[in-house]
Amino acid sequence: MFRSTSTSLIVRGVLAIIIGIIAVVWPGVTILALVLLFAVYAFTDAVFEGARAFGSQRVWPVLGHLFLAVIDVAAGLVAVFWSAPTALVLTLIVGIWAIAAGASGIIAAFLRGESAGTRAMFIVSGLLSIAFGAIVVDRPVAGVLTIALMFGLFSIASGVTAIVQGDQLRRTGSVLRSVLPTAA
């Protein structure tokens, strides 16, 4: 499909920028897409849990996997039909995850035999993560919009990076072909 790695990097970068712009301009669409992606995950997991249930030879694992499949279907249906509450719950999960990750980073700073600079970076990044998580948990409506906007800005930045990398790779290939006629 693509003739070279550089072309695929450039195309990927352009697509990431387009997705990022959509996420920034229409954060509600981004949030809905994330909720629907969660619903797809839940329905897919339900299928796999159902398959695992019928692959088991004893009754309790069968019942356990069927129970998980029913929960997955219910979660998927809730995500599809009540997307706003699902978005808020997913946002709270992200906030709680950020708090836990920050606390883990701070603990890791003291458990490892790291240098003072590395330890300081663990602590600073842990405190930032805890602060972000606390804000998201305290104000989940603003948090869900912030997550959508951060996703958009990240996509734009990674898209620009991919385009620059693709251009640099293309230039490097041109230089190599001029220096070594038999190279790539």
The pLDDT, as a whole number, for residue 68 is: 93
The pLDDT, as a whole number, for residue 54 is: 85
**How many helices, marked H, and strands, marked E, lie in the chain?**
6, 0
Distance (Å, rounded) from C-alpha 81 to C-alpha 83?
6
The pTM for the full model equals 0.66
Q: What are the structure tokens assigned to 98, written together?
A: 């950020």
pLDDT tens series, the chain, 184 aa: 446 888 899 999 999 999 999 999 999 999 999 899 999 999 999 999 999 888 877 888 888 889 999 999 999 999 999 999 999 998 999 899 999 999 999 998 888 677 888 889 989 999 999 999 999 999 998 889 988 998 999 999 999 999 999 999 888 877 777 777 765 5
The pLDDT, as a whole number, for residue 1 is: 44
The pLDDT, as a whole number, for residue 14 is: 96
- DSSP letters along 34-89, please? HHHHHHHHHHHHHHHHHHHHHH-SSHHHHHHHHHHHHHHHHHHHHHHH-HHHHHHH
